[in-house]
Structure 1
Amino acid sequence: MKGNKLFLMGLLLIMVVIAACGPAAPAGVADPTPKQAQAPVSTDASAAMDTHTEMAMGTPIEAQDSALTEQPAAHSAIAGNFPLGRFVSVHDKAIAYQFNRDGSFAFYFASKDPVLIGVYAVTGNLITMMDPNETNPNCKDAVPYKWSFDGTHLTFAPDSDDPCRGRREANADTYAVETTYLPEIVIDASDYAYSAPDTISAGWVRVRLTNSGQEPHHVQFLRLNDGVTLAQFQEALRQGEGPALALVKQMGGVGAIAPTLSAQVVLNLPAGEYVILCLIPSPSDHLPHLAKGMIKGLIVEPASGTAALEPKADLTVRMQDFAYDLPEALPAGQLSIQVINNGPEAHEFNILRLADGKTANDVLQYLGAPDGPPPFTPVGGMNGLDKGLSGYAELDLTPGTYVAICNIPSPVAEGHPHFTLGMIKMFSVSSPASTSFPTGRFISVNDKARAYQFNPDGTFAFFLGGKDPVVQGNYIVIGDLLSVRNPDETDPKCQGSVTYQWSFRDNKLSFTPIGQDTCRSRRDSFSDTYTGS
């Protein structure tokens, strides 16, 4: 209970610090799918910094009744447990099917572009596929096939004669799952309500947040502990955030975004009863948005059928008390970042785009004494995750300077928000230079037993006198900067990402450190020059 009181004190402190803002800076992020034009930022952007504010003790907070339901698929094709995604022939990797949620499909044959696009419908264990643009009279009519899926392999069998030879031969094959459809929900945040589904299926789900309001908004997913009801959670809110947080688990969400923007994350939601809410305060009266109606119940039902596979990340960021393991530079464009909370406290990975010429110190100074327009624009990221949980922040950043920041107050540090304890990190986003980083195997000019292998998929391996690598990791290149990290590293001094400047001339690859690298073995390996083999 003492920790909860300190937590609330920190929230009250932030409420006093954060005030209304002046004109806003330009936005820097467009939603990955679809792209959207950048828009001006609301004058209330700084309010988004207070993602964990007071819960308006003593103020009645009622969940908004909503008749909104999850938008149905555009086609009835996914009836039953038919799997969605891409499926590759087990006999010929050049042959593949792509089945989409909207009832469309594509067939690939030795090409990146589909050779056939059509529609399909599923009834029980029967599937019919048809190309509406088909000119061959033998292939115009839809013919049913029996389908079966064992979790990894999709197989078809004719239910009747099919006069279409091409379709008959394609459906005589067995296909292995390559990617499984990732379900998506869209939540619109207005002033002050959510338009969101009432129920979704458990498992991995993409959550896309749009902001149609005039103030910044985010969405935080909280899973009620087993046996806890929404009414009990609302009653706990009246007592303060401490009692409320004791009844839930923070499962992540979409970080704060400015008006007109959108952002998305991928979360793994187990079945149960949830609430989604917005903790950002309004600058006019300092009441958190949830007190004005931005709180909604959500049921996550047990999944039926094929579960979506966990997505793949371009980069992993680990959070801990009180720092981010994050490179100093990221590439512009679409980037999927796995966000892991190593704790022990709850953390978030909110992203702010800085105004031109501003730094992290300007953000801290503004938060300490707000005056004039904020030097940042909230553009998304991952909201609060409890220790041991993870999710994926799907970003689409434009070139510029950003900070990652955690606004959650610490119950063991007198309620001070985590960014005052060091949990703020500035990084740059740049378009890749025209010069490409070389890939392949590179051998030390001083010791033939030492070698680096850089692969086109962003992985690397370091060899030291053996056929098997002694280190494996990931790398990102932006211009002449190379950021590397080993996700399996156990040495604390070597766990973080580090950036080196690289050059490649006359078939020789060399590196120069940017900043200090505390990992001795990595520092020694990058102090060498390597020749391409």
Structure 2
Amino acid sequence: MKTNNLTSLILLLSVLLFFNCKNEKETESIEDTTSHKNYGQVEVITRAMEFQTLDTLRSGWTTFSYKNLSGEVHFFLMDKLPSDSIVKSDITDHLMPAFDDGMKYLIEEKVDSAMATFGTIPTWFNDVKRYGGSGLISPGKTAVSTINLVPGKYMMECYVKAINGEWHTSHGMWKFITVVDEPTDYTPSKATHTLSVSSTNGYEFDGKPTAGKTVFKVDFIDQVPHEHFSGHDVNLIKYKEGADMDALVHWLNWMNPDGLRTPAPDQFEFLGGMNNCEAGETGYFEVVLEPGNYVLISETPKANEKGMLKTFVVD
């Protein structure tokens, strides 16, 4: 009887020791990962209509690795809010309804009603500053982008549309992120190519990309609101021979009822890029290029007529 009790006691202590060590390792791993990410490297995951990532980041250069594990095209954009006092109800009760109802009117081809509804967008939204993010990214792909964040309260969002025309933001694809005044110790990777973006000269691009890891530096010379109330950005897309480029230009304008709406046009694979940044700001994005046809294009109405569409071939 004593032997059985001793054996049971040893077994119990072994189990407790195992779980204690396991928990310590898990805690250590989580803490180490969080600390590492807070120093300039952040993972973002989407499995459906959400952003799984940290709520608090440090300021300065930060590289986001955005994994799209969902079945739809997404992106993320970092909107710096004009006030830390903006709360969830300001977004869900005032901002989103204006965009939701305005889009419904556009789908119904009631343009005047749509414009009037967009006119009810809260005035504070005009003072939002944009500090980049990823370009559009296809399901199963990962977008890597590096941006320079200043302290403040941000709204991370994706405003691609679902198959019924509703914004992804209205399906929960947004979150608040606080950037604290404590800089990272991170610096961007050395650029392979530089792309300048402006409303006057469009894309000015140096060199010819080759196969392999490529880092694009994007300099925003200026930033102006276009016909869709937003600025210009850069999206990298691989396309198949014979793909309809006009269909892509049309789809990238969200003001079209079927623009930015699921499903994305065939023959195109979205590989990330650099979302809207303020004038004078710089962002970086990286990708492993394989042989094929590529296009750099802005999510801007008539991007082809504004010089914001550049094709290139990787041999």
* TM-score above 0.5, yes or no: yes
Distance change >3 Å, CA 224–CA 364, structure 1 → 2: closer
Within the alignment, does 1:379 sit opposite 2:271 as a pair? Answer: yes
Distance change >3 Å, CA 248–CA 296, structure 1 → 2: same
* Higher RCO (Cα < 8 Å, 6 or more apart): 2
Asked if 1 retains the 8 angstrom alpha-carbon contact of 2:195 and 2:217, the reply is yes
Asked if 1 retains the 8 angstrom alpha-carbon contact of 2:203 and 2:307, the reply is no
One-letter code aligned to 2:306: L
Distance change >3 Å, CA 307–CA 366, structure 1 → 2: closer
Q: Secondary structure at the match of 1:259?
A: coil
Partner deviation per Cα, 1:471-522 (whole Å, 9 max, x = no partner): xxxxxxxxxxxxxxxxxxxxxxxxxxxxxxxxxxxxxxxxxxxxxxxxxxxx
Partner deviation per Cα, 1:323-369 (whole Å, 9 max, x = no partner): 11124731111111111111232321111111134374564477799
Distance change >3 Å, CA 365–CA 195, structure 1 → 2: closer
Partner of 1:73: 32
Q: 2:241 aligns with which of 356, 376, 396?
A: 356
Partner of 1:403: 295
Q: CA RMSD in A?
A: 3.1
Distance change >3 Å, CA 204–CA 397, structure 1 → 2: same
The aligned length equals: 250
Q: Secondary structure at the match of 2:75?
A: strand
> Which protein has the larger Cα radius of gyration, Structure 1 or Structure 2?
1
For residues 87 and 282 of structure 2, what CA distance do their matches in structure 1 show? 24
Q: 1:278 aligns with which of 134, 158, 166?
A: 158
One-letter code aligned to 1:217: H
For residues 245 and 265 of structure 2, what CA distance do their matches in structure 1 show? 15
For residues 275 and 30 of structure 2, what CA distance do their matches in structure 1 show? 24
For residues 71 and 268 of structure 1, what CA distance do their matches in structure 2 show? 25
Which aligned pairs between 1:215-230 and structure 2 lie closer than 5 A? 215-230=72-87
1:386 offset after TM fit, Å? Answer: 2.1
One-letter code aligned to 1:239: A
Which aligned pairs between 1:50-89 and structure 2 lie closer than 5 A? 71-74=30-33
Q: Secondary structure at the match of 1:260?
A: coil
For residues 207 and 246 of structure 2, what CA distance do their matches in structure 1 show? 16
Task: Return the structure number with greater helix share.
Answer: 2
Distance change >3 Å, CA 225–CA 353, structure 1 → 2: same
Q: 1:238 aligns with which of 69, 93, 97?
A: 97
Asked if 2 retains the 8 angstrom alpha-carbon contact of 1:360 and 1:426, the reply is no
For residues 248 and 207 of structure 2, what CA distance do their matches in structure 1 show? 17
Which aligned pairs between 1:192-211 and structure 2 lie closer than 5 A? 192-211=49-68
For residues 60 and 207 of structure 2, what CA distance do their matches in structure 1 show? 32
Distance change >3 Å, CA 347–CA 365, structure 1 → 2: closer
Partner of 2:217: 338
Q: 1:254 aligns with which of 129, 134, 149?
A: 134
Within the alignment, does 1:313 sit opposite 2:191 as a pair? Answer: yes
For residues 390 and 327 of structure 1, what CA distance do their matches in structure 2 show? 16
For residues 175 and 312 of structure 2, what CA distance do their matches in structure 1 show? 35
Structure 2: 5+ residue stretches without partners: 1-28, 100-117, 225-230
The alignment's TM-score, normalised by the length of structure 1, stands at 0.43
1:258 offset after TM fit, Å? Answer: 0.9
Asked if 2 retains the 8 angstrom alpha-carbon contact of 1:182 and 1:309, the reply is no
Partner deviation per Cα, 1:216-273 (whole Å, 9 max, x = no partner): 1111111111445133344233334654641411110011111111111011111110
Q: Secondary structure at the match of 1:330?
A: coil
Within the alignment, does 1:423 sit opposite 2:272 as a pair? Answer: no
For residues 303 and 81 of structure 2, what CA distance do their matches in structure 1 show? 24
1:422 offset after TM fit, Å? Answer: 3.6
Distance change >3 Å, CA 282–CA 365, structure 1 → 2: closer
Structure 1: 5+ residue stretches without partners: 1-69, 79-100, 103-180, 409-415, 431-533
For residues 41 and 314 of structure 2, what CA distance do their matches in structure 1 show? 27
Distance change >3 Å, CA 71–CA 327, structure 1 → 2: farther
Partner of 1:517: none
One-letter code aligned to 2:144: Q
1:196 offset after TM fit, Å? Answer: 1.1
Q: Secondary structure at the match of 1:218?
A: coil
